[in-house]
Structure 1
Amino acid sequence: MNKVIRIGTRDSELALWQAKTVQSQLKNLGYKTQLVPVKSTGDLVLDKPLYEMGITGIFTKTLDIAMLKGTVDVAVHSMKDVPTALPKGIIQAAVLARAETEDMLVSAQYIDYTKPCTIATGSLRRKAQWLNRYPHHTAVDLRGNVQTRLQKLLDNNWDGAIFAKAGLERLGYLHKSGIKSPDFNGFGEELPWMLPAPAQGAMVVVAMEKDTFCQEALAKINHTETEKCTKIERDFLRTLEGGCTAPIGALAEVVSDKIQFKGCLFSLGGKKKLEVATSVPHGPQGIDLGNDSANKLLENGGKELMEIIKREMKQ
């Protein structure tokens, strides 16, 4: 174990928390590690919605290049940010035990949902689900790391903004009394009706295909149940999207002796909603659950809706 595993990560507070979690687990197993922070394009360009930037893996591309160049050995990502097709030569090596999957609405004061409201989010999925439920509301774009988005919520005349619960929790901002950060003090409300992004709440570590040392090390921190559930969700995403960004939610969970799955596809403005829900015994039957669910949705109006989304995205 003389080799030092260089761990590539984005340099935001949340990304560093994730990388340090991986570093700690490897250290406990006797491995030597070094953190190598980098800044991604997704972190540098904050004035455009992600879907308008037209880059696959906008938060992962810089680290992919660093790995291929040999600057880092492995990279830690929020799994929901990782494209379903990894670059040639890079493989998924470990998925850590999953955190909370829910989204949360964060606000500085009480919100009356019956009145017109302005809700901020940079996610097509969150926007579509919110407007489907509250068509009389307005959604505006919000980009940046967690701290930046909380500050923007304070600085603008918005009623609330949507965050992943896992990120708020990992940074220590989630309290019983609400959301508290060095610069923000407000309310947090879970959104159980909002399906998360595929693999939301999970962290993934990727390694080079030929690097057996790092693969063997990372296999020791892999969480099998999370790996299986996120695979189902990402299979659903890949089969449904076909390379096009779309408002898609998915969640697979092991409940007793079954794997329960829910998936959804919305039109860009949230007016149209397609969903699928199913369960299979926890075993080999779950291998194709994501693909099968996506194909079922495609056969029941999803194909036509995806074509509409693709046309609208090009306009």
Structure 2
Amino acid sequence: MKKIVRIGTRSSELALWQAHLVQQNLSKIQITSEIVEVSSKGDEILDKPLHEIGGIGLFTKSLDEALLQGKIDIAVHSMKDVPTDLPKGIVQVAVMKRGPVKDILVFNNKKDTSDLEKVLTIATGSLRRKAQWLKKYPEYKVVDLRGNVNTRLRKLYESNWQGAVFAEAGLTRIDLLPKNFEVLDWMIPAPAQGAVMVVALDGDINFLSEMAKLNCEKTEKATYIERAFMKTLEGGCTAPIGAHAKIEDENITFDGILIDLDGSQSFEIHEEEKLENWENFGKNCALKLLNSGGSNLMKKIKSQMSH
């Protein structure tokens, strides 16, 4: 076992919270560690939408490179940012117990009554959130919002927008959840939202088995189902795909959505399955959705995103 495990992380407050969570759990199993901050392209370029600067893998690439170069021993990611195919030589070793899963709308508290006729505006950097919002509220204007959680909150409060959509987990974890928010129960979250993933280099069996002690099996299975659904639909995390698997006792309930960029067309699925059949469940749900017309919508979304 390595003397001190170097934990690689992005430098945002939320990313550091995740790294400290891993560090605390390592110390519980008598493993000493240190945190190594690595900057990412996704954190540096804030003036363009995510899907225009690389989309999936944008926040994980620099940590993958640090792993492959031997600068860190493990990397900690928000699991929803991680491509479903990990780079060659890198393996998932643990998924931490999941936090809150839902999206929330944070309200801008400014009392602006000067122009009651103006178009209502909300902000999000996520195509999935934008598409689901426009499906429910087509009369709204949705503007792009990038940056880490702190930056996005500040931009919201400095704006004339009515609100912005965030993951509840992110705001809760760094104690920034405001009083004025609403849980969007109707919005299907991103695959693996609220989950923290730990990856390492493949090879050292003893090291990998030590790191695997951090794993929460229930979260691992639920997120596997959600990511298998996304992978089978062939959507990166930038495509408007939502997936949520909930495990209770020996049963799984799954909700998934594939939705057009402007919210005008969507295919949704709700299925239940026994936990013993978890491995193929996400894939089967995706195939069902594709066969019921989703494949044409997926082609349309891909062609829209390539232009």
TM-score past 0.5 threshold: yes
Structure 1 segment 85-96 matched on structure 2, within 5 A: 85-96=85-96
Alignment TM-score, normalising by the size of structure 1: 0.93
Question: Which residue of the partner structure matches residue 127 of structure 2?
Answer: 124
For 1:6 and 1:233, locate their aligned partners in 2 and report how far apart those are by CA, in whole Å: 29
Instruction: Output the CA distance in 1 between the equivalents of 2:16 and 2:37.
Output: 8
Checking the alignment, whether the CA contact within 8 Å between 2:126 and 2:238 is kept in structure 1 is: no
Q: Paired residue for 1:286, among 278, 283, 286?
A: 278
Deviations for 1:119-147, whole angstroms, at most 9, x for unmatched residues?
10000000000000000001000000111
The reply on whether 1:308 has 2:300 as its aligned counterpart is: yes
Could you tell me which residue of structure 2 aligns to residue 206 of structure 1?
A: 199
Deviations 1:237-287 (A, max 9, x none): 00002558410000001123311111000001011111011011121x121
Aligned to 1:239: 232
Write the distance in 1 (CA, Å) between the matches of 2:224 and 2:41. 26
1:152-167 correspondence runs (5 A):
152-167=155-170
Asked if 2 retains the 8 angstrom alpha-carbon contact of 1:9 and 1:75, the reply is yes
2:69 corresponds to which residue? 69
Q: 1: CA distance between counterparts of 2:163 and 2:283?
A: 35
Which secondary structure state, in structure 2, belongs to the residue aligned with residue 286 of structure 1?
Answer: helix
Distance 1:220 1:7 in 2: 16
Distance 1:72 1:244, change over 3 A: closer
- Partners of 2:167 and 2:55 in 1: CA distance: 22
- The answer for the alignment partner of 2:9 in structure 1 is 9
| Gapped regions of structure 1 (runs ≥ 5) | 180-185
- Write the letter of the residue equivalent to 1:94: A
CA contact (8 A) 1:110 1:187 kept: no
Contact 2:104 2:166 in 1 (8 A): yes
Q: What's the TM-score, normalizing by structure 2?
A: 0.95
Partners of 1:92 and 1:262 in 2: CA distance = 24
Letter of the structure 1 residue corresponding to residue 285 of structure 2: S
Corresponding residue number in structure 2 for 1:270: 263
Deviant stretches of 4+, over 3 Å:
242-245
Q: Could you tell me whether the CA contact under 8 Å between 2:56 and 2:238 is conserved in 1? A: no
Question: For residue 74 of structure 2, what is the amino acid of its counterpart?
Answer: V
| Residues 1:256 and 2:256 are matched in the alignment | no
In structure 2, the partner of 1:25 is: 25
Does the residue aligned with 1:220 lie in a helix, a strand or coil? helix
- Inter-CA distance 171–143: structure 2 relative to 1 (3 Å threshold): same
Q: CA deviation at 1:28?
A: 1.4
CA deviation string 1:179-210 (max 9, x = no partner): 0xxxxxx6111000000000000000001001
Counterpart CA distance in 1 for 2:135 and 2:236 is 24
Unaligned ranges ≥5, structure 2: 112-116
TM-fit CA distance, 1:304:
0.3
1:24-83 deviations in whole A, cap 9, x for unaligned? 110111111110011110000000110111354000000000000000010000000000
Tell whether the 8 Å contact from 2:107 to 2:163 is kept in structure 1 after alignment: yes
Match of 2:137 among 100, 123, 134: 134
Which residue does 2:114 correspond to in 1? none
Q: Distance in 1 between matches of 2:20 and 2:237?
A: 33
Tell me how large the CA RMSD over aligned residues is. 1.8
Q: Which amino acid aligns with 2:252?
A: I
Aligned residues of 2:55 and 2:238 also touching (Cα < 8 A): no
Percent identical among aligned pairs is 53
Identify if the C-alpha distance between structure 1 residues 72 and 47 changes in structure 2 by more than 3 Å, giving closer, same or farther. Answer: same
Give the 3-state SS of the residue equivalent to 2:214 in structure 1.
coil
How many residue pairs end up in the alignment?
A: 303
Post-superposition CA distance 1:155-184 (Å, at most 9, x none): 11111000000011101122xxxx0xxxxx
Conserved in 2, the CA contact under 8 Å of 1:244 and 1:310?
no
Cα distance change of structure 1 residues 256 and 212 upon mapping to structure 2, 3 Å threshold: closer
1:277 to 1:314, Cα distance in 2 relative to 1, 3 A:
same
